[in-house]
Amino acid sequence: MKFGGFIGRINMEGYKLVRNAAGRLVPTVVNGRKVVPFKGVNKYRPNGRKASPPIPTCIDYPSDGNKIVGSLKEALKLCGLSDGMTISTHHHFRNGDIIANKVFDIAAELGVKNLRWFPSAVFPCHEPIIKHMESGVVHHIEGSLNGPLGDYCSRGKMKGMGVLRSHGGRYRAIQDGDVHIDIAVLAAPTADAFGNANGLYGKSACGPLSLAKPDSLYADKVIVVTDNLVPFPCYPWEIVGNYVDCVVVMDKIGEPSKIVSGTTKITGNPDKLKIAEMAASFIRDAGLLHDGFNFQAGAGGTSLAFVNFLEKIMKEEGVRARAMVGGITGYVVKILEEGLGDYILDGQSFDLEAIRSLRENANHVTFDLLQCYNFHSKGNTTSMMDAIVLGATEVDANFNANVVTHSDGRMLHGIGGWQNSLLAKCTILTIPSVRRGMPMIRDEVTTLVGPGELIDVVVTERGIAINPRRKDLIEATSDSELPIKTIEEIKKEAEDECGRKAAEAEHGDKVVAVVEWIDGTILDSIWEVKKA
Burial pattern 327-338, b for ≥16 Cβ within 10 A else e, equals bbbbbbbbbbbe
Using the rule CB under 8 A, is 49 a contact of a second copy?
yes
Q: What is the β-pairing status of strands 434-435 and 438-439?
A: antiparallel
Does position 403 interact with a second copy (CB under 8 A)? The reply is: no
Instruction: Choose one: 141-149, 155-163, 377-385, 496-504; the region binding a second copy (CB under 8 A).
Output: 377-385
Q: Are 164 and 137 in contact (CB under 8 A)?
A: no
Positions 472 through 511 that interact with a second copy (CB under 8 A):
none
245 binds a second copy (CB under 8 A): yes
- Tell me: does residue 140 bind a second copy (CB under 8 A): no
Three-class DSSP category at 333:
helix
| Span of 58-66, 156-164, 280-288, 399-407 interacting with a second copy by CB under 8 A | 58-66
* Closer CB to a second copy, 106 or 345, in the complex: 345
Should residue 53 be labelled a site residue for a second copy when binding is judged by CB under 8 A?
yes
Question: How many whole angstroms separate alpha carbon 24 and alpha carbon 525?
Answer: 8
Q: Give the number of residues in contact with a second copy, rule: CB under 8 A.
A: 64
Asked if 345 interacts with a second copy (CB under 8 A), we say yes
**Among 54-62, 265-273, 312-320, 396-404, which window interacts with a second copy (CB under 8 A)?**
54-62
Which position among 166, 210, 381, 405 is part of the footprint of a second copy (CB under 8 A)? Answer: 381
Beta strands in 77-127 (DSSP E): 86-89, 115-119
Q: At 503, which amino acid appears?
A: A
What 8-state DSSP symbol labels residue 55?
A: P
How far from each other are the two terminal CA atoms of the chain, in whole angstroms? 23
Among 365, 438, 482, 505, binds a second copy (CB under 8 A): 365
Name which of 22 and 464 has its Cβ closer to a second copy: 22
Cis amide bond preceding 451, omega within 30: no
Q: Based on the shown chain and the rule CB under 8 A, indicate whether residue 326 belongs to the binding site for a second copy.
A: no
> Min. distance of Cβ 371 from a second copy in angstroms?
6
- Burial category of 101 from C-beta neighbours within 10 Å (exposed 0-12, middle 13-18, buried 19 and up): middle
Of the listed pieces 69-77, 114-122, 239-247, 445-453, which binds a second copy according to CB under 8 A?
Answer: 239-247
- Looking at residues 510 to 529 of the shown chain, list those that interact with a second copy (rule: CB under 8 A): 519
How near is the Cβ of 51 to a second copy at its closest, in Å? 7
**Residue type at position 262:** G
C-beta separation of 423 from 383 below 8 A: yes
Cα–Cα distance between 117 and 509 in angstroms, integer?
Answer: 25
DSSP H/E element including 261: none
* Position 323 contacts a second copy (CB under 8 A): yes
Q: Please, what sign has the CA dihedral across residues 433, 438, 444, 447?
A: negative
In this structure, the strands spanning 507-516 and 522-529 are: antiparallel
3-state SS, residue 330: helix
DSSP state of 212: G
- Residue 52 contacts a second copy per CB under 8 A: yes
Query: Measured from the CB atom, is 69 or 259 closer to a second copy?
Result: 69
**Residue 154 CB, nearest approach to a second copy (Å):** 32
Q: Which residues contact 45 (CB under 8 A, 6 or more apart)?
A: none
From 12, 33, 34, 54, residue interacting with a second copy (rule: CB under 8 A): 54
Q: Rounded to whole angstroms, how far apart are CA atoms 27 and 23?
A: 13
Buried b (16+ CB within 10 A) or exposed e, 277-294: bbbbbbbbbbebbeeebb
Among 244, 289, 335, 390, contact with a second copy (rule: CB under 8 A):
244
What's the closest the beta carbon of residue 193 comes to a second copy, in angstroms?
9
Cis, bond preceding 236 (omega within 30 deg of 0):
yes
Stretch that binds a second copy, among 40-48, 146-154, 449-457, 483-491 (CB under 8 A): 40-48
The answer to whether 191 contacts a second copy (rule: CB under 8 A) is no
Question: Pick from 9, 14, 32, 64: which binds a second copy (CB under 8 A)?
Answer: 64
Q: Is 262 in the site for a second copy (CB under 8 A)?
A: no
Instruction: Report the residue count for the chain.
Output: 532
For the bound state, the minimum distance from the C-beta of residue 333 to a second copy, rounded and expressed in Å, comes to 17
Q: Which is nearer to a second copy, 240 or 250 (CB)?
A: 240
* CA angle centred on 334, ends 331 and 340, rounded to 5°: 115
Q: Quick check: 232 binds a second copy (CB under 8 A)? A: yes
Residue among 74, 139, 142, 131 at smallest CA distance from 113: 139
Q: Provide the residue type at 80 as one letter.
A: G
Contact call for residues 208 and 32 (beta carbons, < 8 A): no
Q: Which is nearer to a second copy, 125 or 332 (CB)?
A: 332
Shortest spacing between CB 457 and a second copy, in angstroms = 18
Q: Counting contacts by CB under 8 A, is residue 55 touching a second copy?
A: yes
**Distance (Å, whole) CA 226 – CA 239:** 12
Residues 181, 221: Cα–Cα separation, whole Å:
8
Nearer to a second copy, 74 or 360 (CB): 360
Work out whether 175 is an interface residue with a second copy (CB under 8 A).
yes
* Binding-residue pattern over the window 202 to 231 for a second copy, x denoting contact by CB under 8 A: --------------------x--------x
Piece of 21-29, 261-269, 300-308, 359-367 that binds a second copy (CB under 8 A): 359-367
Pick from 51, 158, 455, 465 the residue near a second copy by CB under 8 A.
Answer: 51
Residues that bind a second copy (CB under 8 A): 42, 45-65, 67, 175-176, 194-195, 222, 231-233, 235, 237, 240-245, 292, 294, 322-323, 343, 345, 362-363, 365, 368, 370-371, 374-381, 383-384, 423, 425, 519
